[in-house]
Amino acid sequence: MNLRISHPVWDWILGLAFLGFFPFAVLLGLFYPSVILEQGISHRIFYFHVPVAWVALYGPMISSICAMIYLWKGDRVWDTLSFSANKISLLFAVGVLFSGPIWAYYAWGTPWDFTDARLQSFFVLVLSLISYFLLRNLVVQPNKKYVFSAFLSILCMVNAVLTWGAIRWVENPGNHPESVLGKGGMDPDMRISFWSGVLGYHLLFLVLYRMVYRLDKTKALKEEMPLLED
């Protein structure tokens, strides 16, 4: 029996867009924009770190929307979509935790500033995502697992919003830069490289999301499929 998880034409469209643009966006961030003199070459991490951080914040929001639809409709497919989104969110969040301290150490001489609300709130978000997967593995009864997971997804979304707002709503005494969309703006070369990176890493998110969802959906179908007798 053949099961179609999603229409293959979207895989071709998304795959071609990703292969055509993502390498360009990465190379653009590495070689095109001028660096900030105070930070030196480490400033180029910015074109990886910030776009990846954006995806790490958007992912829990997508997951929470799917989770709320699951709580409303009770359809397993929405739980699977939420589950897959959180997987990719955690992956990107780990990327932020690795790239951020490297950038901070070479730019400001310290890998982590414990006085910065943005850093602490993001770390709480990572702990929330880890807790999501731990609880999901600990709960055996399927219906309870999906409901608990849905509420934890909503909690992760709240943490993502607070992390996004920490740099805008809280006076940070640390070294963490202000919002890139703030009053100062960016030079044209930086702006082009930054927005190219944002688009490129969002395409990476979508590619990974479709791949992971396909695997999770296949696993879910196998779990729900009755055993066939010979």
pLDDT digit string, tens, across residues 187-203: 788 889 999 999 999 99
Residue 3 counted as domain residue: no
Residue 2 counted as domain residue: no
Asked if 119 and 174 touch (Cβ cutoff 8 Å), the reply is yes
Which has more confidence, 126 or 15? 126
pLDDT digits (tens, 9 = 90+) for 75-88: 889 999 999 999 99
pLDDT digits (tens, 9 = 90+) for 130-161: 999 999 999 888 889 999 999 999 999 999 98
**How far apart are the C-alpha atoms of 204 and 191, rounded to whole Å?**
20
Q: Which domain holds residue 87?
A: 8-217
Residue 226 counted as domain residue: no
Residue 99 counted as domain residue: yes
Here the tokens at position 102 are 């490297």
Residue 95 counted as domain residue: yes
Here the tokens at position 165 are 């707002």
Residue 225 counted as domain residue: no
Report how many domains make up the chain.
1
Residue 208 counted as domain residue: yes
**How far apart are the C-alpha atoms of 200 and 189, rounded to whole Å?**
16
Residue 229 counted as domain residue: no
Q: How many CB atoms lie within 10 A of CB 134?
A: 11
3-state helix, strand, coil in the chain (%, to 5): 75, 0, 25
Burial of 96 (0-12, 13-18, 19+ CB in 10 A): buried
Q: Average of pLDDT values for 4-32?
A: 83
